[in-house]
Amino acid sequence: MFSKKERPAHSLIAGATAGAVEAFVTYPTEFVKTRSWFGGQREPLLTIVRNTVRDKGITGLYSGCSAVVIGNSVKAGVRFVTFDHFKSMLADADGKVTPLRSLLAGLGAGVTEAIIAVTPSETIKTKLIDDAKWPNPQYRGLVHGTTSIVRQEGIRGIYHGLFPVMMRQGANSAVRFTTYTTLKHRRV
């Protein structure tokens, strides 16, 4: 069903690794963006960085990072392996996928990644970052934070905003993969 280039394990590992590296490298900007949303008054971004480093050290800019690294890793792995799966299901007898079928495969991949990875990791990340701003945070890291959230709020506690995230990720992946596969197979 998959060509040698499209084995599920390869898509999963390559996507997951790329997602983890991307999340770790870009995380301080995500931290500052998310922190700027909290509170009644907007703090300048450099003030957030300066205060965080002063109060918590450079590692303070990575509060909640593990949730994003794990979530982004799972998201990227799921995105690529499910896209390949849906694409193979939708391919014609010659193994070709039309732009419309590529769009549907991308939509399926985006919705799947929203359910499995994006919504939980974004919700947990936001709660960990918000919690880390207090002098005595209640969460002691990803595992403790996640179990505490689920214990206090139930599984719904990590699925706030699921439907809008499914719509966003579905549309993103539909556009991304349709554009990618269409341009990949054309001479530009």
What are the residue boundaries of the structural domains of the chain, listed by start?
98-187
Q: Is the pLDDT of residue 1 over 60?
A: no
Q: What contacts 122, CB < 8 A, 6 or more positions away?
A: 71, 161, 165
List pLDDT tens digits, range 132-181.
Answer: 888 899 998 889 999 999 999 999 999 999 999 999 999 999 999 999 88
- Tokens coding 164: 């809008």
Distances in Å between the alpha carbon of 132 and those of 7, 25, 35, 64, 89? 40, 20, 10, 8, 44
Helix (H, G, I), strand (E, B) or coil at 11: helix
What share of the chain in percent tops pLDDT 90?
60
Return the axis-axis angle of helices 8-37 and 65-90, rounded to nearest 10°.
140
Q: Is the pLDDT of residue 6 over 80?
A: no
Q: Is the pLDDT of residue 33 over 90?
A: no
Sign of the torsion formed by the C-alpha atoms of 102, 103, 108 and 113: positive
